[in-house]
Structure 1
Amino acid sequence: MSSADVRRESVFVRLRDDVLASIVVFLVALPLSMGLALVAGYPFENAAAVGLVSGAIGGIVVGLLSGSPLQVSGAANGAAVMVAVFVKDFGLEAIGVIVLVSGLVQVVAGALRFGPIFRAVSPALIQGMLAGIGLLIFASQFHVMVDDIPPGTGREFGGIINLYSLPEAMWKGLTMEEHRPAALVGLLTIILIFAWSEFAPKRLRALPAPLIGVAVSAGFAWYFGLGLKYVPAPDDLFTAITLPTSAALLRLGEGGLWMAGLSLAFVAGAESLITATAIDAMQRHAARTRYNRELVAQGVGNMLCGVLGVLPVSGVIVRSSANVQAGGRTRLSTILHGVWILVFILLLPGVLKLIPVASLAAVLVYAGVKLIRIGFVKILWGQDRVEAGVYAATFVTVVATDVLTGLAVGVGLSVARLLYSFSRFEMQVDEREGRFDVALVGAATFIALPTLAGALEALPSDARVHVDLSRLSFIDHACLDLLVNWEQQLEASGGELALDWESLHGLFNERRLRATPAAS
């Protein structure tokens, strides 16, 4: 095969993978888009269209501009909950202006290059966040899978409520006539997804397992005439679009409205950039995230969402991880998923109305379980117990409260650990035959200067001293400068100092070379 043939085949493979992945993401995005619009407080008759328009903007507009090629944007939990609060405080007519302000703030923040701030996130925190979100999705969508409303929706500690009421949902699915057909369709969907993923012939496995699960389950429900809830697709997409009125624009003079837009910009930006970091860790095909570009892309998408009066968008871990797991290779999969939303809602709304809500919920139940990586926890526990604690705290807080609080707790613990590591310092002095062996342990920062200086000055002025640096995790310029100056003072008094420079690496050796001339 010639190199040209190899390139053509490679392009075809990437195109095929992106198209198939986009279908999977589309199926995952449908229930999320519509459900979050209801959470945010939009009227039931418009909720589906509002969420789907946001999904289309997140896929097409943000996807085209995105700095994270495989991240999929759309309506997300954190932003939807904030919008629900804003609806109560400012009214539904002000939401478009607030979202517009948040988009503008994100564009400015990206232009000022604030994006990489969110890159400094530990893998334990990211995986704890993903596992927490996965459990929340499982708990809420399990109720939907039996055609029931998650009891924790819109309530404080809603995730916990959804979790402890799971046995009740199972009982309804097993015993109650109005819930049993949905439970059957949901279970069938999960079995089909698992079976297709594990046992389908290799030549057929390119077809996405969720597509097979939803298609077969929808056909099963139609054939047997099961009484189920189906996707409430609107007949007219434009019912979701509400352009800002002059009265709403005049409210731009309200300080509270600007504070709402600023807080929404931060929440949506944090969700997007931390999700982008997580997706970088999950995939090996696409380029790494360009954080400032991603922040600008999110801002442009939210400015458009504000103008159209729909839900704000941000990077969504469920859709993004589904994109990676389904084999997405380039930003085309993200863009196409938005195109499919538009095509179906504009041209084929009747097809959407044939899809059981229980089947789409089953796709999310399966996706939620996949986000909980037990193997990672075992490895982390064996390598670093403190990082395992960060994982556990992030996971528990995400489940008990919300994603942003969980991230705040995880970041706080990571910073506390960092501060502890950089404040932990001790000296071990051992005298043998008139020679003093001094071992420095921990992090020698400026905080340790009083301890280090006091211990060195307590040694005889003419002593022979060996300083072991091999057990240091870090040493800063202030401590290096103290050692160099003390070496000069000791030699002037007839003493001798041997510094174990060769035990240090990288930065330490570089600083030694700069300090040596001054010591001679």
Structure 2
Amino acid sequence: MYNSLFGSNLKYDLKSSLVVFLVALPLCLGIAIASGAPPMSGLIAGIIGGIVVGSFSGSHVSVSGPAAGLTVIVLDAISSLGTFELFLAAVVAAGLIQIILGFLKAGVLGYYFPHSVIKGMLTAIGLILILKQIPHALGYDKDTMGDETFLQADSHNTITEIWYAIKYFSPGAIPIVLISLAIIVFFDRPQIKNHKILGLVPGALWAVIAGILINQFYGIFQPSWQLDGEHLVSIPVVDSFASLGGLVTFPDFGLLATPDFWVIAVTVAIIASIETLLCLEAGDKMDPYKRISPASKELVAQGLGNTVSGLIGGLPVTAVIVRTSANINSGSKTKLSAILHGVLLLVLVIGIASILNLIPLSCLAAVLFVVGYKLAKPSLFINEYNKGFNQFLPFIVTVVAILFTDLLVGIGIGMIFGIFFVIRTNYQRSVIVTELKGSYLVKLQKDVSFLNKAPLMKKLSEIPSGSEVILNATKARFIDHDIQEVLNDFIDSSPDKNITVTIEGFNFNLNKTI
């Protein structure tokens, strides 16, 4: 049922695609501007991410497009290579590398990200969305909507930007964002969302229509409140086929034989692949139907998307968690919603750009507020806390690290903590010693490595003289050579302490039972 692209699923996917379109539109433009690239390159990447990647992807819920996590890399790469056209050639090469990685089944690496880090990433992105939209909600639009890093290009940061927004707010933005929020919340109620008529159009679209009408109302009755210029969406207007051709940029392969070119291509391919695999794993966890996406197939789809995007002037694409989250929360059933959002970007940006340019950013901020809240609900913190210290600490470290750096650095820090606690947990559970009336059971479980050598020696040395000891390895899958030596030394010395040792479940030769 859920694999069908049409039939009863179409109305859900079409509705979701509208919401994802409204979320993607400002982010595509903002990420392009923040990357030092033409605004149209972000929209092209969004279109390709929807139509091309969506068509070849094996994920039912993931949505691809230009990624904020690559902003700094793109900005530096364009500067390093010298022109945007040379960078586009590197994007094409990066796409081909991703296709090769996909055929080599490199996507399996995505299954090794700790759960706590994935949860932390989702929560952090939700908080960033909320914090970053506060200035736009107040009508202070100096920073682009696609910027998710803590330190901004204008020397401000996420916190100081909010302070400046409070000082220099635009009064007309506040009623727009409040009314838009009220509309979205109203239409998100189950009885409205599931209504046969009222549920056909998403609340986000009604909010955008309301935002445009309110701003036009200002122009008539309160001109000083009307939002214009940087406070509105700004899409290049296409009024003829000739002007459309002028917005498309083609790659320059002039540096193909240089080391710098391939360093950038490989960097983009690896970072884009990592971000995609993280988003894919997160999307599968949020998917209400718990479907598993083929990770290596996704790398091939992303590679095809980047190859096409680079050939026609688009930024690199990855699976993107903000759009994916909006897609899932809007009730998407299949990947048709991702494809349709790309079609909407293509048709509406070309066909009605002048109307889209009337949308206030404060109105779109309301849409992103709701997406951010659903990613970072207070209940998520409580649930992770209840799972125990070993899960909560990597989770909260990942959240804080992403908030105060950027996505990739924060994920790296979170991975270090996550892996440390995985090793720590396995380390603690690998050797268990229990005592009952002078008899000791030493259980070796799972993998017992050299890391367990010191605690094992300590536990064995504390066994008193005259005891009976059972060394049990029935549940051990691997026992390091260092551990074998410790056990042999204990068996050799046991007669001196009058300790009786029995061996169970070892698949290699310890000293003979005493």
**Is 2:53 aligned against 1:62?**
yes
1:157-236 paired onto structure 2 within 5 Å: 157-158=151-152, 161-173=157-169, 179-198=170-189, 201=192, 202-203=194-195, 204-225=198-219, 226-228=226-228, 229-236=231-238
Does structure 2 retain, via aligned residues, the 8 Å contact 1:73–1:315?
A: yes
Does structure 1 retain, via aligned residues, the 8 Å contact 2:441–2:469?
A: yes
Q: Alignment partner of 1:293: what SS?
A: helix
Distance in 2, matches of 1:126 and 1:214, equals 31
5+ long unaligned stretches in structure 2: 220-225, 239-243
TM superposition shift of 1:410: 0.9
The match for 1:354 is 358
Distance in 2, matches of 1:52 and 1:460, equals 73
Q: Alignment partner of 1:158: what SS?
A: coil
Could you say if the C-alpha distance between residues 331 and 462 of structure 1 is closer, same or farther in structure 2, counting changes exceeding 3 Å?
Answer: same
1:44-443 paired onto structure 2 within 5 Å: 46-47=38-39, 49-91=40-82, 92-150=84-142, 157-158=151-152, 161-173=157-169, 179-198=170-189, 201=192, 202-203=194-195, 204-225=198-219, 226-228=226-228, 229-236=231-238, 237-244=244-251, 248-285=252-289, 287-424=291-428, 436-440=439-443
Does structure 2 retain, via aligned residues, the 8 Å contact 1:462–1:490?
A: no
Distance in 2, matches of 1:463 and 1:492, equals 11
Distance in 1, matches of 2:175 and 2:412, equals 40
Does structure 1 retain, via aligned residues, the 8 Å contact 2:212–2:360?
A: yes
Whose helix fraction is larger, Structure 1's or Structure 2's?
1
**Can you list the C-alpha shifts for 1:247-272, whole angstroms capped at 9, x where unaligned?**
x3121122112111111111111111
Distance in 1, matches of 2:46 and 2:256, equals 26
The match for 1:31 is 26
Distance in 2, matches of 1:431 and 1:192, equals 66
Distance in 2, matches of 1:450 and 1:135, equals 42
Distance in 2, matches of 1:381 and 1:21, equals 32
Match of 1:172, as an amino acid? Y
TM superposition shift of 1:75: 0.8
Q: Alignment partner of 1:129: what SS?
A: helix
Distance in 2, matches of 1:411 and 1:488, equals 40
Distance in 1, matches of 2:233 and 2:127, equals 24
TM superposition shift of 1:481: 6.9
TM superposition shift of 1:209: 1.6
Could you say if the C-alpha distance between residues 492 and 172 of structure 1 is closer, same or farther in structure 2, counting changes exceeding 3 Å?
Answer: closer
**Can you list the C-alpha shifts for 1:400-430, whole angstroms capped at 9, x where unaligned?**
1110111101111122223333444667586
Does structure 2 retain, via aligned residues, the 8 Å contact 1:74–1:314?
A: yes
Relative to structure 2, which stretch is displaced further, 150-159 or 109-118?
150-159
Could you say if the C-alpha distance between residues 170 and 190 of structure 1 is closer, same or farther in structure 2, counting changes exceeding 3 Å?
Answer: farther
**Can you list the C-alpha shifts for 1:275-328, whole angstroms capped at 9, x where unaligned?**
010000001337311010101111111111111122111111110000000011
Q: Alignment partner of 1:310: what SS?
A: coil
Does structure 1 retain, via aligned residues, the 8 Å contact 2:149–2:405?
A: no
Does structure 1 retain, via aligned residues, the 8 Å contact 2:24–2:323?
A: yes
**Can you list the C-alpha shifts for 1:462-507, whole angstroms capped at 9, x where unaligned?**
974334779x9x66244897799899999999986556x7xxxxxx
Distance in 1, matches of 2:491 and 2:148, equals 69
Does structure 2 retain, via aligned residues, the 8 Å contact 1:467–1:498?
A: yes
**Can you list the C-alpha shifts for 1:129-170, whole angstroms capped at 9, x where unaligned?**
112222222222222233323459698723982224324424
Could you say if the C-alpha distance between residues 376 and 464 of structure 1 is closer, same or farther in structure 2, counting changes exceeding 3 Å?
Answer: same
TM superposition shift of 1:197: 1.1
Match of 1:216, as an amino acid? A
Q: Alignment partner of 2:59: what SS?
A: coil
TM superposition shift of 1:221: 2.3
TM superposition shift of 1:79: 1.5
**Can you list the C-alpha shifts for 1:30-53, whole angstroms capped at 9, x where unaligned?**
0001111100102xxx41x22111
Distance in 2, matches of 1:281 and 1:258, equals 34
Relative to structure 2, which stretch is displaced further, 314-323 or 353-362?
353-362
Distance in 1, matches of 2:506 and 2:432, equals 24
Distance in 2, matches of 1:156 and 1:10, equals 39
Could you say if the C-alpha distance between residues 162 and 28 of structure 1 is closer, same or farther in structure 2, counting changes exceeding 3 Å?
Answer: same
Distance in 1, matches of 2:277 and 2:186, equals 34
Relative to structure 2, which stretch is displaced further, 231-240 or 274-283?
231-240
TM superposition shift of 1:206: 4.0
Q: Alignment partner of 2:469: what SS?
A: strand
Could you say if the C-alpha distance between residues 120 and 398 of structure 1 is closer, same or farther in structure 2, counting changes exceeding 3 Å?
Answer: same
1:480-495 paired onto structure 2 within 5 Å: none
Aligned length: 488
Does structure 1 retain, via aligned residues, the 8 Å contact 2:132–2:148?
A: no
Does structure 1 retain, via aligned residues, the 8 Å contact 2:5–2:334?
A: no
Match of 1:341, as an amino acid? L
Alignment partner of 1:466 out of 464, 470, 474: 470
TM superposition shift of 1:113: 1.0
Does structure 1 retain, via aligned residues, the 8 Å contact 2:183–2:203?
A: yes
Distance in 2, matches of 1:342 and 1:283, equals 27
5+ long unaligned stretches in structure 1: 1-5, 174-178, 502-511
Could you say if the C-alpha distance between residues 305 and 431 of structure 1 is closer, same or farther in structure 2, counting changes exceeding 3 Å?
Answer: closer
Could you say if the C-alpha distance between residues 318 and 156 of structure 1 is closer, same or farther in structure 2, counting changes exceeding 3 Å?
Answer: closer
Q: CA RMSD in A?
A: 3.8
What is the TM-score with the length of structure 1 in the denominator? 0.82
Does structure 1 retain, via aligned residues, the 8 Å contact 2:85–2:250?
A: no
Could you say if the C-alpha distance between residues 200 and 465 of structure 1 is closer, same or farther in structure 2, counting changes exceeding 3 Å?
Answer: closer
Could you say if the C-alpha distance between residues 163 and 377 of structure 1 is closer, same or farther in structure 2, counting changes exceeding 3 Å?
Answer: same
Alignment partner of 1:20 out of 15, 21, 31: 15
